[in-house]
Amino acid sequence: MLSYRHAFHAGNHADVLKHFVQMQLLQYLNQKDKPYWYIDTHAGAGVYSLREGYATKNAEFQGGIARLWGRTDLPPALAEYVAVVKALNPSGKLVLYPGSPWVALQCIRSQDRLRLFELHPTDAELLQQNFAEHSKRGTVQMTDGFEGIKAVLPPPSRRALTLIDPPYEDKRDYQHVVHCLQESLKRFANGVYAVWYPKLQRQESLQFVDKLKRLPIDSWLHVSLSVHAPKADGFGMHGSGLFIINPPWTLHGTLQSVMPWLVAELGLDNGASFELEQQVK
């Protein structure tokens, strides 16, 4: 399915959670000199306008990054994430929002490399344009990331962060993620994998995390943020989550301090909450 465009949702509460955690993972990898790869299976366009086009339809960023934009009391980890967004907006006005590839580009070092996959032809072209000046830092391929990842694992340095966040408009994406991880872990069991998913009132979403926990893995962390209670009609996304395989040992503590703050600032009703659980070796 090629109808999904992330621009509709750019900068919303789910992006805040995803990109803030993404930065924590990359910064942890940066602590060792040895190079690594950042692999993005559904990279999108890379950069999104919040003042025109799709993002203005529902203005979802108003419930996400816009609530953090002018704050001076952000927890340090969130302040680092907001600083990346502000660097993309030198005028001081919130005009552009960085997708996960752009966030990664700001975090990786000269020795690290990007491997970006995007199947949607329009977004793939935009991604190519947005990264044209950074072609030496990595590659962009217009292909299905679920398939493309097979050719890049394991990376030469045996270090990588792989972000898997399909749109899930096609219910089969849930099973595609599980299958992708099963195959990827056979090739590269020691990599860090971050799976984003939407919190929906559909069985595929409700059962998803349990299926991920049953993968042949020793260490994982699961964090989710709900910004409101599920609607009575069961329609719409009320939150999102990340399931991380081989997480940094520091991440749980960071999330323990940041997630209550996000619930308080992004929550819309008494149903706002977070989950945080982990399994370690």
Mean pLDDT of 229-242: 89
Quick one: pLDDT at residue 231? 86
Query: What confidence category does residue 147 fall into, taking pLDDT thresholds of 50, 70 and 90?
Result: very high
Is position 71 within any domain? no
Count the domains in the chain: 1
Q: What is the dihedral of CA 165, 170, 171, 176, to 10 degrees?
A: -50
> Does the active-site annotation cover 165?
yes
Say which residues have a Cβ less than 8 Å from residue 6's Cβ, sequence separation at least 6. 44, 45, 48, 99, 123, 167
The C-alpha atoms of residue 263 and residue 67 are separated, in whole angstroms, by 12
Query: What confidence category does residue 54 fall into, taking pLDDT thresholds of 50, 70 and 90?
Result: low
Say which residues have a Cβ less than 8 Å from residue 200's Cβ, sequence separation at least 6. 168, 206, 236, 237, 238
Residue 218 has pLDDT above 80, yes or no: yes
Residue 60 has pLDDT above 70, yes or no: yes
Q: CA nearest 197: which of 217, 220, 223? A: 223
Q: What count of Cα atoms within 13 Å lies in the side-chain half-sphere of residue 210?
A: 5
Is position 219 within any domain? yes
Is position 247 within any domain? yes
Q: Is 127 exposed, middle or buried (0-12, 13-18, 19+ CB in 10 A)?
A: buried
Quick one: pLDDT at residue 4? 53
pLDDT (tens digit per residue) in 66-111:
999 999 999 999 999 999 999 999 999 999 999 999 999 999 999 9
The C-alpha atoms of residue 62 and residue 58 are separated, in whole angstroms, by 9
Quick one: pLDDT at residue 1? 47
Is position 27 within any domain? yes
pLDDT (tens digit per residue) in 15-31:
999 999 999 999 999 99
Rounded to the nearest angstrom, the gap between the alpha carbon of residue 117 and the centroid of all alpha carbons in its chain is 14
Domain with 124, as residue range(s), is 12-45+100-279
Which has more confidence, 160 or 51? 160
Residue 2 has pLDDT above 90, yes or no: no
The C-alpha atoms of residue 76 and residue 257 are separated, in whole angstroms, by 10
Is position 79 within any domain? no
Is position 90 within any domain? no
pLDDT (tens digit per residue) in 239-278:
999 999 999 999 999 999 999 999 999 999 999 999 999 9
Mean pLDDT of 44-66: 87
Across 41-55, 141-155, 217-231, least confident range: 41-55
Query: Which CATH number covers residue 225?
Result: 3.40.50.150
Is position 91 within any domain? no
Residue 116 has pLDDT above 80, yes or no: yes
pTM of the model: 0.95
Mean pLDDT of 218-231: 96
Is position 6 within any domain? no
pLDDT (tens digit per residue) in 185-216:
999 999 999 999 999 999 999 999 999 999 99
Quick one: pLDDT at residue 53? 67
Mean pLDDT for all residues in the chain: 94
The residue from 15, 40, 123, 165 that is catalytic is 165
